[in-house]
Chain A
Amino acid sequence: MNEPAWLQQQRKTAQQTFDRLPLPTRRDLDWQRFDIRKLNLDKLTGNQPSVDVKLSAATGTGVIFCDMATALAKHPGILQEYLGQLIAPDEAHKFNALNTARWNTGALLYVPAGVRVELPVEILYTLTGETGSPRTLVIIEPGAEATVVQKFIGGTGAINLHAAGTEVFVKDGGRLHYISYQDFNPNVYDFTLKRARAGKDAEIDWVIGMFGASFQRYDIECEMAGEGGTSFMYGVCFAENQQQFGQFTKQHHHAGNTVSDLLFKNVLRDSAVTNFTGLIKVEKNANGTNAYQSNKNLVLSNKVKCDTRPILEIESNKLRCTHGATVGRLDEDQLFYLRARGLPEEQARHILLEAFLEPVLARIKVPAVYKEFSELIHRKVSR
C-alpha cells in the first residue's frame, strides 16, 4: 500500500516512540500488580499484524462506513484531518505508539451532520495471527446520531500481542452509543486505547465489556471540550483464572456545565488481578461540572488481587464531583434471604453475581448485544 506522506510521518514518529520507551515493569506505578514478562516483543513485532475485519452495512445518506484500506483509497481527506488528533504518535505510551506505527486494518465511520443511523453499526475484529493492530476512527458530525458495536475475538493460542486504538469525535449536539467488548482466546495480551472528544451538548455513552484474554490494559478517556456535553462510561469485567486487567479511565472536563458518569464493576475469582485507576480532571474554567465515578469490586477467592485508585484533580470552584470505590464479598444477608426462600446456595450465588453486574448491562441499548453479554456472563458464572 502506497501511503500518503503525512501518514508515513506519523508512523515513523510512532515507531521512534515505541523503540525509545522501555517495556513497563513492576517498578512503574501503573504496573505494580501486572506480569507481562511472557511477551517477547522482538519476536512478536517481527511479523505483520493480522486482523480480520468484518463490517455490517450502514444506512443513511452520506454515511461512510468502510475498512481502513478503502478509507485510505477513497477518503484520505477525512483520515488526514482526524487521524492522530487524539492519539499523538509521540505520546509516551509504548503500546499506543505501536498501534499507530503498525496498524494495517481497521474501520472508519463518518456520519454527516443531522443524519441519524437507525441500526447499530457493527465492527468485528478477529485476531488471526500472532499480533494485531486495528485502528478505529468514528466521527459524528453536529446533530448526527449512531450506535456502534465493536467486538474483538480470536487469538492463535500462543502468546499474542494485540494493540488497538480508537479515536472518537462527537461534535456539537451529536450522540453516540458505543459498545465495545472483547472475548479473546487465552494468551492474548491486549493493549487498548479509546479516546473521545465531546463537543457542545454532545453525548457519548460507552459500555465496555472485558471478558477474555490473559492480560488487558484498557485506557478509556473522554475529553469534555464543549459546554453541556455528557459522557457515560460503563464497564463490566469478569476476571478469572490468571487473568489480569488494568482499567485506566479519564474524565477530562475542559468546558463548563458538562456531566460525566462512570461505573466499572469487576468480579474477581481464582487468581485474577485487577487494577482500576480512574481520574476525574476538572480544568479551571469548567464551572458547573458534575462528575461522578464509581468502581465496585466483588472478590470471590482468597488468591485474587484487587486494586482501586479513584483520583480527583479539581481546579474549578463551581462544581460537584464525587467518587466511590468498594471491594467486598457477596453480601451474606442477601445470600441468606435467597436461601431462606428455598434456592440452593450455588444458584443463589449465581443470581447475586449476575445481579451485581446488571446495572452495567442495563445500559446496553441494543437487545441482541445485551443478550450476548448476559449469556457470556451466565456461562462464566455457572462454570
Chain B
Amino acid sequence: MVQSKGVMEWVDGNLGSKRTVKYPSCYLIGDGAHGEVLSLASADKGMWQDAGAKMVFMAPNCTARINSKSISGHGGRASYRGLVQVRGEAPNCRVQVNCDALILDAKSRSDTYPVMETDGDLVTVEHEASVSNVSDEQLFYLTSRGIKKEEAVSMIVNGFIEPIVKELPMEFAVEINRLINLQMEGSVG
C-alpha cells in the first residue's frame, strides 16, 4: 500500500529454485503515489521463473514503472506475468512497462503475459516487450577479438541486465553479477 506522495520500489531477483511464482505488488492508494518494480529473473536448467509485478491504481495522479529482464538457458523457462489495473477513481495516472527477455538455447522458453485493464480516459499506459537471442553478430564481434565464446556470452548477458543491476546497491550488484556468471558457465549460445 503506497500512501499519498509515497514511493515504493521493489527490486526482485529470481535466480534459483525449481518453480518461482512471485509478483511484487504496489497498491497506489494515495494521491501522487509512485510504485516501481525492477525484476530480474534467470531461469536455468529445470527452473521455471514465473515472476512479474502488479500495479493497482486506486488514487489520482499516481505513477508507476515496471522494468523486467529475464534470461532463460539450459532448458529453463522464464515468464513475465504482470497486471496493471487503473480503476475509474484514479485519474491522471501514468504507467510504463518494459520487459525484455533473452533466450540462450533451443531448449529454453520465454513467455510474456501482461494484462492491462483501464477505466476512463485520464490514463496513459505503455507496454513494451521483446524477446531475442544472443545474436551471431554480437558473438562474432567479441570472439573475433580473442574472447572465448563462453566469456562472450557472459559479457552479452551482463550487458543485457546492466540497466537493472545499475540500480542496485553495490554489494548486491556484485553478488548478482557473480551469480549470473555462475549460471552462464557451460552455456554456449
Binding site for B on A (CB under 8 A): 33, 284, 287, 299-329
Given A319-B132, A326-B125, A326-B127, verify A304-B116 contact (CB < 8 Å): no
The residues of A that contact B116 with a CB separation of less than 8 Å are: 307-309, 325, 327
Interface string of B103-138 (1 = CB under 8 A from A): 111101111111111111111111111111100000
Closest Cβ of chain B to A260, distance in Å, is 14
In the complex, what residue of chain B is closest to A301 when comparing beta carbons? B121
Check B105–A317 contact: CB distance below 8 A.
yes
Check A317–B113 contact: CB distance below 8 A.
no
> Does B101 make an interface contact (CB < 8 A)?
yes
Closest Cβ of chain A to B51, distance in Å, is 15
Closest Cβ of chain B to A307, distance in Å, is 5
Check B118–A314 contact: CB distance below 8 A.
no
A327's partner among B105, B115, B125 (CB-CB below 8 A) is: B125
Bound form: Cα–Cα A50–B113 in Å:
40
Check A307–B117 contact: CB distance below 8 A.
yes
Check B103–A314 contact: CB distance below 8 A.
yes
Check B118–A307 contact: CB distance below 8 A.
yes
B124's partner among A312, A317, A327 (CB-CB below 8 A) is: A327
> Does B88 make an interface contact (CB < 8 A)?
yes
Check A325–B125 contact: CB distance below 8 A.
yes
Bound form: Cα–Cα A322–B130 in Å:
4
Check B132–A313 contact: CB distance below 8 A.
no
Given A309-B116, A313-B111, verify A304-B129 contact (CB < 8 Å): no
The residues of B that contact A320 with a CB separation of less than 8 Å are: 130-132
The residues of A that contact B126 with a CB separation of less than 8 Å are: 324-326, 328
B contact residues, total (Cβ < 8 Å): 34
Check A312–B110 contact: CB distance below 8 A.
yes
Check A312–B111 contact: CB distance below 8 A.
yes
Given A307-B115, A322-B129, A324-B127, verify A314-B121 contact (CB < 8 Å): no
Check B113–A309 contact: CB distance below 8 A.
yes
Given A307-B116, A312-B131, verify A329-B124 contact (CB < 8 Å): yes
A311's partner among B106, B111, B125 (CB-CB below 8 A) is: B111
Closest Cβ of chain B to A330, distance in Å, is 9
Closest Cβ of chain B to A2, distance in Å, is 48
Given A284-B106, A314-B111, A325-B125, verify A299-B118 contact (CB < 8 Å): yes
In the complex, what residue of chain A is closest to B126 when comparing beta carbons? A326
Closest Cβ of chain A to B14, distance in Å, is 18
Interface string of B131-169 (1 = CB under 8 A from A): 111000000000000000000000000000000000000
**For A309, A327, A329, which residue has the most chain B Cβ atoms within 10 angstroms?**
A327
Check B112–A317 contact: CB distance below 8 A.
no
Check A310–B127 contact: CB distance below 8 A.
yes
Other contacts beyond A305-B118, A312-B110, A314-B101: 12, CB < 8 A? A300-B121, A302-B120, A304-B119, A307-B118, A309-B113, A310-B129, A311-B111, A314-B103, A315-B109, A317-B189, A323-B128, A325-B114
In the complex, what residue of chain A is closest to B97 when comparing beta carbons? A325
Bound form: Cα–Cα A376–B56 in Å:
37
Check A317–B108 contact: CB distance below 8 A.
yes
Closest 4 CB pairs of A and B: A322-B130, A302-B120, A312-B112, A299-B121
Bound form: Cα–Cα A325–B104 in Å:
26
Closest Cβ of chain A to B120, distance in Å, is 4
Check A311–B113 contact: CB distance below 8 A.
yes
9 A-B pairs, CB-CB below 8 angstroms?
A299-B121, A299-B123, A300-B121, A304-B120, A306-B117, A307-B118, A317-B189, A318-B133, A329-B123
In the complex, what residue of chain A is closest to B122 when comparing beta carbons? A302
In the complex, what residue of chain A is closest to B134 when comparing beta carbons? A317
Check A317–B88 contact: CB distance below 8 A.
no
Closest Cβ of chain A to B156, distance in Å, is 13
The residues of A that contact B124 with a CB separation of less than 8 Å are: 326-329
Closest Cβ of chain B to A183, distance in Å, is 25
Given A315-B109, A317-B108, verify A310-B114 contact (CB < 8 Å): yes
Bound form: Cα–Cα A323–B116 in Å:
14
Bound form: Cα–Cα A357–B125 in Å:
19
A314's partner among B91, B128, B131 (CB-CB below 8 A) is: B131
Closest Cβ of chain A to B114, distance in Å, is 6
Closest Cβ of chain A to B134, distance in Å, is 9
A328's partner among B91, B108, B123, B131 (CB-CB below 8 A) is: B123
Check B122–A329 contact: CB distance below 8 A.
yes
B112's partner among A307, A310, A315, A319 (CB-CB below 8 A) is: A310
Bound form: Cα–Cα A287–B117 in Å:
33
